Structure 1
Amino acid sequence: MDLKVSVVVPAYNGGVYIDACARSLLDQSLAPDDYEVVFVDDGSTDGTRERLEAVARRHDHVRLIRVDNTGGPGGPRNLGLDAARGEYVYFLDCDDWLGPEALERMHAMAARNGSDVLVGRMVGQGGRRVPRAIFRRSADRARILEDHLLSLLTPHKLFRTAFLREHGLRFPEGPVRLEDHRFVLPAYFKAEVISVLADYPCCYWVQRADEGNYSARRFDAAHYFSVVREVLDIVDEHVEPGPVRDRFYAHWLRGKMLRRMGGGTLMNYPPDYRRELHAAIRGLALERFTPQVERHIPWNLRTRAYLLREGTYEDLEILAEAERGITVRPVLRASLTSQSSIGVWFSADFVYRDGRPVAFRHEDGPDGKHRVLWELPAVLPTPVPTEVLDATAALPRATVGLHARHRGSGVEVSLPTTVSRPCEDRGAVTLAGEAHLATAPEAPMPAGTWDLRVRMDVCGWGVERKLAGIRLVVTKEGEILVRTGRKAARKQSRLRRGARRVPGLRRAVRLARSTRTRLRA
């Protein structure tokens, strides 16, 4: 094939997002003769098709395929794959965009390693969260479990076109769920080489503020978890029963089932739908998941797993309401700037939303050994065994870190952090951190304002919050300045405080700002 990359973009009512997406594809550092863009309009009714027609008329390396609405992105992606002429194909959604060097860097790495699949670094936009572990480092030959590839099963990846066609890999079509899992997971299993490019933000993954995209629709619980069964069948086809299969199964037990049974996720649904969701999840748990799988889930989910199997819906609802809003309470202790580095000292308390500490009780067990038990934040109808609440091994692994987030793009930079445990007051979890950033880092930081955010990981809970009272400003010349005090904290007006209470408003504003920035660039 003469072309290096084909970018396939299914488009359905892309709205203003489609302009930023198209602009990012036209601004690639890869020469236009080396790649093509294949938009597949899936019956848009908001002017998206007309916008894409105009782009295709002006640019020879852009094509547009028009189809009547299929009800899901799978069909348009398959049409784009059939039309692709590149050595590699990248699947991008119409509300996302690429970094300017994304295609050039991803193709170079894939060509160097003979990769069948390459996962390029993704950056969340508009409140979208992106798994961190998968992008801790670049890997020429990544492993599915050890390198956390299951944490990102979206199709935003570079695939060798001949590899997909050789194995007949296609997306399920129509209004179906988890079509990405049923495409990416078989690709992972069949690939000889999977690579991860972690040192460049390739794809900006957008959380839309409206309900116009496919994944925003409320799902039918019975149908959804029947599809999860199909995904588990794919695992069964490639992995023998035993501990390794249990580790694979734990991914879906954790992410698609138990997380929906706790915290804000469960309580945000209407009461009648919560019970429907519980019945579907419990049925699948009893059918396909043995207790051995629970050994591979985060510690904080084990109480939920026990109650899902042995307790009642009321147990899970009470616990979910109590856990809802668990957060970190960070406090800036000091900052110091020298000629070569910036130092930040802070503390972090692990608390419930009402400010009470998430507490652990220290005691001696029947065998005389010291143990640490989670003190449940509410009384449950079903007693929970102490072995389920035992956090003796998990709690010492609690950690805290500091990272900077660019206000405009959402790009994040981790700051090396030294962690200490200054005190433990009645079982409360308090950690202290000391982080440093070079004033002239090896990888230059984009100009603009950067907020510092504290992330705390305790027994499987991962929470983060802005560190008030400090921010970084990177000048156009690359100089990093520190701003502290009340101006850095930005005291909020009544209007701003009121806006915080409107669901989805802050996310919509952030997304509008980032999209505007992208269009002006």
Structure 2
Amino acid sequence: MSAAEPDVSIVIGAYEAMPYLVECLESVEAQTIDPLRLEVIAVDDGSTDGTGAYLEEFAERAPMAVTVIRQENSGGPSGPRNVGLGKARGRYVFFLDADDRLGPEALERMVAMADEQATDVVLGKIVGVNRGAPKSMWGKTLPRTDVFSSKIKFTLSAQKLFRRELLTRHSMRFDESLKTGEDALFTLEAYLRADGVSVIADYPCYYLVGRDDGKHVTKSGSYTLRFDSARALMNLITELVPAGPRRDSLMLRPFLITLLPQFGPVFLRDSEEVRAHKLELAKPLLEAHWHEGVARRMKVHEKLRMHLVAQGRADLLVDVVKFVKEKKAPTAFMDPGGAGAYLAYPHFRDRAAGLPDEWFTPTVRETVAIEAFKPLGPTGFRKRLRRAARRVLKAR
């Protein structure tokens, strides 16, 4: 390794980051990897709380090379990250938020994994501190996988190790027009373009810290920003993945994580004007990307809400959202003769509503979880249905 090329460029975008920045930088100093293999590029995005001064103090005493850039506030995390990325010299880049921290062995383990497996992106296990964190993708360490063969699509934050050559080859930068979800767009593109992704699930690499002041970008901002993020993700998936089951499996993510929450309990608190605006914003997204291939991957209450959004049926949607919010269990219903199984959420077979039965058809997993159907239909049918569902699950 030449002095001009460290192993990892740690890019830290910082805005009003005190006092969280103190532990963040302590975690950088505590890395077990040789500090000569690291460089830190810290961008103070117009802070007024001493963040910039503390970064400069750190640069004077740190055992690794540190570059501090101070600039006017850019209005979001994309600008500082892009500035840092433009200055990076390392073989790999890691984006560290100024209020979070690293596990001591994080970078040593992640670089070793990327080098051993020749993968372009490495995910290290994320742990929440005073806030939630993604969980489904940490079941086991995966030396080499991809976005279609794992659950990594459900963690699209930027706190990953990226091979810089990948980012350079595709001229990848964070979209500064997005004020939320910009990291999801960047990370998903990296997953899709990567020659392999690694997952480290047996060591806490990253601690996602909940701020007492609530100044997380993902917790603030107009609801319209979520629709901007969903639109960008859906367009990216459409651009890079041909139509078919693989695209549908990815499209599930922006529908479930970005769009659907806007039609959850918060919808009940929205004014009529906001409800109408949300339906208006959602309409072109559903017209372009919502179809049965995506719908059948969702639970009944999820796809039912999306179908109602697509139809602009705010009146019926409110009833379903209230039912879900109250955690009521829908009746499991089966047609006599075993013609079909359904979960009777509000407006099931309501003639006035006129909703198709298939909107209420449970997924295989929901079917396996159902304890009883009413009525049962022919003797033994329910057992046959459950056995068949288990066989499908086992084959997946």
Instruction: Give the TM-score normalised by the residue count of structure 1.
Output: 0.65
Does the Cα contact within 8 Å between 1:28 and 1:102 map onto a contact in 2? yes
Match of 2:56 in 1: 53
Match of 1:24 in 2: 27
- Structure 2: how far apart are the matches of 1:192 and 1:23? 33
Matches within 5 A, 1:95-174: 95-130=99-134, 132-173=135-176
Does the Cα contact within 8 Å between 1:359 and 1:426 map onto a contact in 2? no
Over the matched positions of the two proteins, sequence identity in percent amounts to: 33
Structure 2 residue 88 is matched with structure 1 residue 84: yes
Match of 2:385 in 1: none
Match of 1:225 in 2: 227
- Structure 2: how far apart are the matches of 1:215 and 1:359? 32
Match of 1:73 in 2: 77
Partner SS state of residue 104, structure 2: coil
Shift of 1:124: 1.7
RMSD: 2.6
After superposition, give the CA deviation of every residue in 1:290-324 in whole Å (9 maximum; x if it has no partner): 33321223343121122222351121122212211
After superposition, give the CA deviation of every residue in 1:25-58 in whole Å (9 maximum; x if it has no partner): 1111112222122211100112211222222222
Structure 2 counterpart of 1:39, from 25, 35, 42: 42
After superposition, give the CA deviation of every residue in 1:482-521 in whole Å (9 maximum; x if it has no partner): xxxxxxxxxxxxxxxxxxxxxxxxxxxxxxxxxxxxxxxx
Does the Cα contact within 8 Å between 2:319 and 2:346 map onto a contact in 1? no
- Structure 1: how far apart are the matches of 2:273 and 2:128? 32
Which amino acid in the other structure matches residue 54 of structure 1? E
Partner SS state of residue 267, structure 1: helix
- Structure 2: how far apart are the matches of 1:392 and 1:293? 12
Match of 1:418 in 2: none
Structure 1 counterpart of 2:68, from 61, 64, 68: 64
Which amino acid in the other structure matches residue 374 of structure 1? L
Structure 2 residue 195 is matched with structure 1 residue 192: yes
Matches within 5 A, 1:191-270: 191-219=194-222, 221=224, 224-262=226-264, 264-270=265-271
Match of 1:300 in 2: 301
Structure 2 residue 324 is matched with structure 1 residue 320: no
Match of 1:369 in 2: 338
Match of 2:379 in 1: none
Partner SS state of residue 142, structure 2: coil
Match of 1:395 in 2: 366
Instruction: Give the TM-score normalised by the residue count of structure 2.
Output: 0.84
CA gap of 1:311–1:183, structure 2 versus 1, over 3 A, is closer
Does the Cα contact within 8 Å between 2:131 and 2:208 map onto a contact in 1? no
After superposition, give the CA deviation of every residue in 1:261-307 in whole Å (9 maximum; x if it has no partner): 12x34335455433322321233212332333212233431211222
Structure 2 counterpart of 1:386, from 348, 357, 361: 357
CA gap of 1:359–1:190, structure 2 versus 1, over 3 A, is closer
Partner SS state of residue 49, structure 2: coil
- Structure 2: how far apart are the matches of 1:166 and 1:256? 29
After superposition, give the CA deviation of every residue in 1:326-345 in whole Å (9 maximum; x if it has no partner): 3xxxxxxxxxxxxxxxxxxx
Does the Cα contact within 8 Å between 1:371 and 1:392 map onto a contact in 2? no
Partner SS state of residue 137, structure 2: helix
Does the Cα contact within 8 Å between 1:4 and 1:34 map onto a contact in 2? yes
Which amino acid in the other structure matches residue 67 of structure 1? Q
Partner SS state of residue 362, structure 2: coil
- Structure 2: how far apart are the matches of 1:189 and 1:392? 27
Partner SS state of residue 215, structure 2: coil
Which amino acid in the other structure matches residue 382 of structure 1? A
- Structure 2: how far apart are the matches of 1:19 and 1:93? 12
370-379 vs 83-92, which moves further: 370-379
CA gap of 1:71–1:313, structure 2 versus 1, over 3 A, is same
Does the Cα contact within 8 Å between 1:261 and 1:278 map onto a contact in 2? no
Which amino acid in the other structure matches residue 98 of structure 1? L
Partner SS state of residue 241, structure 1: coil
Does the Cα contact within 8 Å between 1:13 and 1:44 map onto a contact in 2? yes
- Structure 2: how far apart are the matches of 1:392 and 1:180? 31
Partner SS state of residue 86, structure 1: coil
- Structure 2: how far apart are the matches of 1:392 and 1:220? 30
Number of residues paired by the alignment? 369
After superposition, give the CA deviation of every residue in 1:81-123 in whole Å (9 maximum; x if it has no partner): 1222322111111111111111111111111111211111111
Shift of 1:372: 4.2
Which amino acid in the other structure matches residue 308 of structure 1? V
Unaligned runs of 5+ in 1: 327-351, 353-357, 399-420, 428-521
- Structure 2: how far apart are the matches of 1:361 and 1:224? 34
Does the Cα contact within 8 Å between 1:362 and 1:370 map onto a contact in 2? no
Matches within 5 A, 1:496-507: none
Does the Cα contact within 8 Å between 2:299 and 2:366 map onto a contact in 1? no
- Structure 1: how far apart are the matches of 2:294 and 2:42? 41
Partner SS state of residue 182, structure 2: coil
After superposition, give the CA deviation of every residue in 1:346-388 in whole Å (9 maximum; x if it has no partner): xxxxxx4xxxxx142344x25x117543232689862433332
Which amino acid in the other structure matches residue 47 of structure 1? G
CA gap of 1:15–1:318, structure 2 versus 1, over 3 A, is farther
Does the Cα contact within 8 Å between 1:75 and 1:174 map onto a contact in 2? no
- Structure 2: how far apart are the matches of 1:245 and 1:7? 32
